[in-house]
Structure 1
Amino acid sequence: MGKRKSRAKPAPKKRMDKLDTVFSCPFCNHGTDVECRIDMKNLIGEASCRICQENFSSIITTLIEPIDIYSEWIDKCERVNNHEEGEDVDQDDSYVPKKRVSTTE
């Protein structure tokens, strides 16, 4: 007599690791002092440093994570620093010359 074929068990689902919500500050370089908060009611994302009181806010969508807000802040700082050194910046980018970037559009 033949043995019945057993059904293969489905593979266990992989758990997604949670992304960070605290980062190092681009101005004062403290380790975990920048905290990113997302306000879904007003569609605003904010990153702020507890030590040097620098902050950054941007308009968000429902798919944005805290790491995305921090990355936008770093990108904006790099664009401002490159523009101060004399490199060209896109014409569409509204640039306001400041020593530090504190808020977005």
Structure 2
Amino acid sequence: MGKRKKSSKKPVTKAIVPRLDTTFDCPFCHQLKSVSVTMQRSSVPMRGVLSCVTCGARYQCEIHALSEPVDVFSEWMDAIEEVNTVREER
């Protein structure tokens, strides 16, 4: 009698997780990928520092353990929008 053939399982594929950007476009000088974000997790309080290489624009905010560079950038964009709406009201 012959042996039974083992059923071969399909190999498990890992899900590819898309990486988030750490460099962004500057809203002031319109340079592509000129804004870099650094996360200072060792300092107390933890800070996210954002700076533009071309025009020198800087922004910093408090972060927490789950924050990512895109969170710092979006908070900066919200702060810019808030300042612009205050100026328009005047």
TM-score above 0.5, yes or no? yes
TM-score of the aligned structures, taking structure 1 as reference length: 0.72
2:9 & 2:86 partners in 1: Cα distance? 60
Aligned length in residues: 87
What's the secondary structure of 1:85's corresponding residue? helix
Q: Counterparts in 2 of 1:1-105, with a 5 A limit?
A: 6=7, 8-9=9-10, 11-42=12-43, 43-86=46-89
State the shift of 1:8 in Å.
4.3
Please list every run of 5 or more consecutive structure 1 residues that lacks an aligned counterpart in the other structure: 88-105
State the shift of 1:11 in Å.
3.5
What's the secondary structure of 1:75's corresponding residue? helix
1:32 & 1:81 partners in 2: Cα distance? 23
2:79 & 2:63 partners in 1: Cα distance? 15
String of CA shifts for 1:35-60, please: whole Å, max 9, x gaps. 00001111100110011111000000
TM-score of the aligned structures, taking structure 2 as reference length: 0.83
Match of 1:91 in 2: none
4+ residue runs over 3 A deviation: 3-11
Quote the RMSD (CA, aligned, Å): 2.1
Please list every run of 5 or more consecutive structure 2 residues that lacks an aligned counterpart in the other structure: none
State the one-letter code of the partner of 1:57: Q
1:61 & 1:5 partners in 2: Cα distance? 51
1:12 & 1:23 partners in 2: Cα distance? 31
Match of 1:98 in 2: none
Percent of pairs identical after alignment? Answer: 36
